Structure 1
Amino acid sequence: MNNNTIKKLKPESIWNHFADLNSVPRPSKKEEKVIKFIKDFGASLHLETIEDICGNVVIKKPATPGYENRKKVVLQSHLDMVCQKNNDVDFDFETQGIQMTYEGDWVHALGTTLGADNGIGVAAIMSVLSSKDIEHPAIEALFTIDEETGLTGALELSKDILSGDILLNLDTEEDDEIDIGCAGGIDVTAKANYEEKEINKNSKTYQINLSGLHGGHSGMEIHKGLGNSNKLLNRFLYDFLKFNIQLISVDGGGLRNAIPREASAIFSISSEFESKLQEQFNHLYSEIKSEFSSIDSNLTIHLSQIDHVEKGLSIEDSKKFISSLQAAPNGVFRMSPDIEGLVEASNNIARVKLEKGKAEIQCLTRSSVESSKMWVATSLEAALQLGGMKVELTGSYPGWKPNPSSEILKLAESIYEKKYGEKPSVQACHAGLECGIIGEKYPSMDMISFGPTIKGAHSPKERVSISSVQKFWDFLLEILKNITVK
């Protein structure tokens, strides 16, 4: 099955635009090709197309006849995508387009992330812009860059590039939800240079590899208790400290906004402890497999002896590094006391790298409350400083404060209930939507977020429901048709 088959799905306009979009490489921070793609698209429609100083693109379309006196709508999605693949997949996100297929009601990619987050939103906006028969008010289509690794596009968006009254962010991942709030975030990065020492001659070198975890979105799926490869691997290393191991290298995880799925480490151990090492490994492996049997059943962990390595961290520095990582908080930190079921604050230990004495740990801390965001960040800072690491807090961005009295929310709720015979779930989410940042720049803009059902975002298991895309499209068109007068 090739991507042309995807183009035959309904609604054809969205799937055609999505397939065209997915033929263009668009990793975060490397969006040059997709920026050109969307600018060329706007130009092909003879619509006013603007690229701002950081690479965001705005395409403006006049109102259809009879809708000139309606409030102007900003349709907004981000161009970049999370780039994750399975280890056995040979794929270059910078040069290749995503290969797609579908099974039943689900479209997915072949061993990589799909890019439905936020490509379906982009494709829906393209469908509105290219339509000749959809009724709508004046449209400003805002395509932002680098949402996934820093929200750079939203943060650097000019305060005078938009004039819309209402913003519809198309980046939510459950088709029965309307989001009116989200978490803010901050990057926590720890670095250290440890002096390498000679490995004891009377020692053996071992490698431990952990793989098969589910992974996922570090905001939307953090409450599920999914395994974090960096933390699980470190449980073994911490347990092995009793054997005076010398840590040689660690390599785990990837992007800050993805729950890490794989990790490995190399360490040395005195020959006298070899039999106890295997016994301890087996015991802990059994415990962890049992703990995660219902949510990460494909977890596998291998311990094997490898060729002798000559240098690594001292026993003391190994203990510092491993102990500080063991103490660092990961996962849900606090649930909201005000909104039932909402994660207020969390942290994802996303990337751990140690090579030739140089160590780096990358985390993404999220919270819908600024004070608790900094509470988690400074808790991390304190734990990692105990390992002799220098910690930086960067890239802070605000959350989006819910407005239950929003006019566009009331309209969307009314339409949803009439179309589907039930009330939508009005939510604040734990992901980092761009609405909070855009709302700071345009405080009078009324906004909501919604989208189709997407599962496994930020992992190679990402998939989008075909029937849900149709539902999302119908809902969007009905909202545009019923936007109120100015």
Structure 2
Amino acid sequence: MALENLQPREVFTRFEELCNIPHGSGNLQQISDHIVSFARERGLEVTQDSELNVIIKAPGTAGYEDKEPVILQGHMDMVAVKNDDCDIDMKTEGLRVTTDGEYVWAEGTSLGGDDGIAVAYCLALLDSKDIPHPPLEVVITTNEETGMYGAAAIDLSGLKGKKMINIDNEEEGVFITSCAGGARVYSKVTMAKESVAGALCKVSISGLLGGHSGEMIKYGRGNANIIAGRLLKNLSKAIIVNLVSIGGGVADNAIPGTASLEFVVANDKVDEAGNIVNNTLAELKGELEGKDDNINISFDKISENEAVDAFSAASTESLAKMISIMPDGVQAMSAMVEGLVETSLNLGIIKTEGNLVTLEQSVRSSVESSKNVLIGKLLTIGELFGAEVTVSGQYPGWKYRQHSELRDHMVSVYEKMYGKKPLLQAIHAGLECGILSEKIDDLDCISIGPDMQDIHSASEKLSVKSASNVWEYLKAVLA
């Protein structure tokens, strides 16, 4: 095992076991069954529902049997992304985890520390014979990354706990106390097809940083899908273009780092098309300087004088205009919390299937009316361009709790361990705390976690030292 020499060994052993099981969103049967088997092998009460959510109950240790239960919560799915040159099939293969002793990462892919580390902590606690804790109610949800669908469906009526520690934060010493609400918006555009002859060309966008669309949206990183739409508009404005396909991104809540276009132009317009692409790249390099410096756009002629089944020039131009006027990125900053994004959206996925081009966007806001206004804009844009627009996966924000016994207790334990106060923070990313708070009356919850870098990207890293610190802190809180 690659991580067997890391401490705490009990945590990293469980984490590596999880990494060996494919568990991208929507591909969770195997990992859910693994967690259920783990609990049953230890004689623990466990339930698995139709959405593959898992709830495990463990009694309190000696002297803690009659204490109030504590809920520990995380999600089992990860955003499964990889570099273009990575040969792993993330639907069927595990991750190639590695470490230098300071960080843990996966070669060529995302690591899934978000939120595999939470599951690893929970399993290590459940496996222990000597860690003191009150009764535990462990809630591991599914498909958090694609819309919090597991949390929305889960039945928590059998839980007795009123205090919940969510382990889905990525910064040690930062306690999340509230978060934004959000929704997914899907725009399906029906394209007119025709057979055209000319030069088949391909444009590939790469080198962008990507990252979590809640946490990283404020940095102004390039969105490969938005750039693809811009390129298509620049091309179709100057010459006749017949789009063959457009695609990019792997999750609506991840800023896409790559995208591509295939299209047909007249044979004598290939050089002009290449010049347009190069000029657009030069503009983007200036615009993204200091924010996303390594953007690259390649232009290749694949063939010429060949009949190709493509979208009409009118449909191509219409789609380009639609993407070009879509809002994207930060829409408003909070006036109440300095540096907090209030409202944003991310065009995370574009895909072409048959005669349909689908755009998938993640909308977030800590102000419910602002979220609804932004969704309304997307509905209006879709209506103007004849697209079918649907909204799903809406989840509420998590409101700050003025009086919190759990927060006071966790702050006190942190101060005793580290001699300083933790940072209490509201975030723009979405957490399941809002949904679960609606299912348990008067739920008191806090979100914590160890340091991670560049989650939702192939550059993701988990700090070994921080993972150890949070483990020791979590044990102290429970004790």
TM-score (norm 2): 0.95
> Shift in Å at residue 356 of structure 1?
4.7
Q: Find the counterpart in structure 2 of residue 213 from structure 1.
A: 208
Q: Find the counterpart in structure 1 of residue 274 from structure 2.
A: 278
Match of 1:299 among 289, 295, 300: 295
| Residue 112 of structure 1 pairs with residue 102 of structure 2 | no
* Partners of 1:449 and 1:235 in 2: CA distance: 38
Q: Find the counterpart in structure 2 of residue 423 from structure 1.
A: 421
What are the superposed Cα offsets for residues 125-150 of structure 1, whole Å, 9 maximum, x if unpaired? 11111111111111111111111112
* Partners of 1:69 and 1:120 in 2: CA distance: 28
| 1:191-270 aligned within 5 A | 191-199=188-196, 201=197, 203-240=198-235, 241-270=237-266
Q: Find the counterpart in structure 2 of residue 382 from structure 1.
A: 380
| 1:277-356 aligned within 5 A | 277-307=273-303, 308-354=306-352, 356=354
> Shift in Å at residue 248 of structure 1?
2.4
> Shift in Å at residue 404 of structure 1?
3.7
| Residue 188 of structure 1 pairs with residue 212 of structure 2 | no
Match of 1:167 among 142, 164, 167: 164
What are the superposed Cα offsets for residues 136-183 of structure 1, whole Å, 9 maximum, x if unpaired? 111111111111112121101114121112100011000021001112
* Partners of 2:92 and 2:271 in 1: CA distance: 48
Could you tell me whether the CA contact under 8 Å between 1:216 and 1:258 is conserved in 2? Answer: yes
Could you tell me whether the CA contact under 8 Å between 2:2 and 2:99 is conserved in 1? Answer: no
Match of 2:35 among 23, 33, 38: 38
Could you say what secondary structure the match of 2:345 adopts? strand
Match of 2:442 among 441, 444, 453: 444
* Partners of 1:346 and 1:378 in 2: CA distance: 14
* Partners of 1:65 and 1:268 in 2: CA distance: 72
> Shift in Å at residue 386 of structure 1?
2.7
| Residue 138 of structure 1 pairs with residue 130 of structure 2 | no
State the AA in 2 paired with 1:75: L
Could you tell me whether the CA contact under 8 Å between 2:176 and 2:424 is conserved in 1? Answer: yes
> Shift in Å at residue 334 of structure 1?
1.4
Structure 1 residues 51, 248: CA separation in 2 closer, same or farther (over 3 Å shift)? closer
Structure 1 residues 297, 124: CA separation in 2 closer, same or farther (over 3 Å shift)? same
Could you say what secondary structure the match of 1:6 adopts? coil
* Partners of 2:201 and 2:18 in 1: CA distance: 45
TM-score (norm 1): 0.94
Could you tell me whether the CA contact under 8 Å between 2:2 and 2:97 is conserved in 1? Answer: no
| Residue 149 of structure 1 pairs with residue 185 of structure 2 | no
Match of 2:408 among 403, 407, 410: 410
Could you tell me whether the CA contact under 8 Å between 1:254 and 1:260 is conserved in 2? Answer: yes
Structure 1 residues 32, 280: CA separation in 2 closer, same or farther (over 3 Å shift)? closer
* Partners of 2:337 and 2:67 in 1: CA distance: 34
| Residue 127 of structure 1 pairs with residue 124 of structure 2 | yes
Could you tell me whether the CA contact under 8 Å between 1:324 and 1:385 is conserved in 2? Answer: no
State the AA in 1 paired with 2:318: K
* Partners of 2:123 and 2:248 in 1: CA distance: 38
What are the superposed Cα offsets for residues 98-126 of structure 1, whole Å, 9 maximum, x if unpaired? 11111351100011111111111111111
> Shift in Å at residue 205 of structure 1?
3.2
Q: Find the counterpart in structure 2 of residue 466 from structure 1.
A: 464
> Shift in Å at residue 41 of structure 1?
0.9
Q: Find the counterpart in structure 2 of residue 89 from structure 1.
A: 86
Q: Find the counterpart in structure 1 of residue 364 from structure 2.
A: 366
Could you tell me whether the CA contact under 8 Å between 1:250 and 1:352 is conserved in 2? Answer: yes
Could you say what secondary structure the match of 1:28 adopts? coil
* Partners of 2:431 and 2:468 in 1: CA distance: 23
* Partners of 1:371 and 1:178 in 2: CA distance: 26
Structure 1 residues 354, 25: CA separation in 2 closer, same or farther (over 3 Å shift)? closer
> Shift in Å at residue 5 of structure 1?
3.3
What are the superposed Cα offsets for residues 33-76 of structure 1, whole Å, 9 maximum, x if unpaired? 11111111111211112223432211111112222343210011
**More moved, 132-141 vs 236-245:** 236-245
Match of 2:6 among 9, 22, 25: 9
Structure 1 residues 95, 306: CA separation in 2 closer, same or farther (over 3 Å shift)? closer
Unaligned 5+ residue runs, structure 1? 482-486
> Shift in Å at residue 250 of structure 1?
0.9
* Partners of 1:457 and 1:390 in 2: CA distance: 31
* Partners of 1:24 and 1:204 in 2: CA distance: 43
Could you say what secondary structure the match of 2:371 adopts? helix
> Shift in Å at residue 275 of structure 1?
4.2
Structure 1 residues 271, 93: CA separation in 2 closer, same or farther (over 3 Å shift)? closer
* Partners of 1:139 and 1:104 in 2: CA distance: 31
* Partners of 1:205 and 1:60 in 2: CA distance: 59
* Partners of 1:159 and 1:419 in 2: CA distance: 33
Could you tell me whether the CA contact under 8 Å between 1:189 and 1:393 is conserved in 2? Answer: yes
**More moved, 111-120 vs 232-241:** 232-241
What are the superposed Cα offsets for residues 363-385 of structure 1, whole Å, 9 maximum, x if unpaired? 11112222111111111222233
Match of 2:68 among 71, 76, 80: 71
What are the superposed Cα offsets for residues 284-340 of structure 1, whole Å, 9 maximum, x if unpaired? 211212322433333211112222443423332222110010011111111122222
Could you say what secondary structure the match of 2:429 adopts? coil
Structure 1 residues 33, 278: CA separation in 2 closer, same or farther (over 3 Å shift)? closer
Match of 1:397 among 377, 385, 395: 395
> Shift in Å at residue 362 of structure 1?
1.0
State the AA in 1 paired with 2:295: L
* Partners of 2:210 and 2:65 in 1: CA distance: 47
**More moved, 222-231 vs 87-96:** 87-96
Could you say what secondary structure the match of 1:310 adopts? strand
What are the superposed Cα offsets for residues 415-451 of structure 1, whole Å, 9 maximum, x if unpaired? 2222222221111112221111010000222110000
> Shift in Å at residue 457 of structure 1?
0.9
Could you say what secondary structure the match of 1:298 adopts? coil
* Partners of 1:365 and 1:408 in 2: CA distance: 30
* Partners of 1:278 and 1:458 in 2: CA distance: 32
| Residue 435 of structure 1 pairs with residue 433 of structure 2 | yes
Could you say what secondary structure the match of 2:105 adopts? strand
* Partners of 1:356 and 1:37 in 2: CA distance: 37
Q: Find the counterpart in structure 2 of residue 484 from structure 1.
A: none
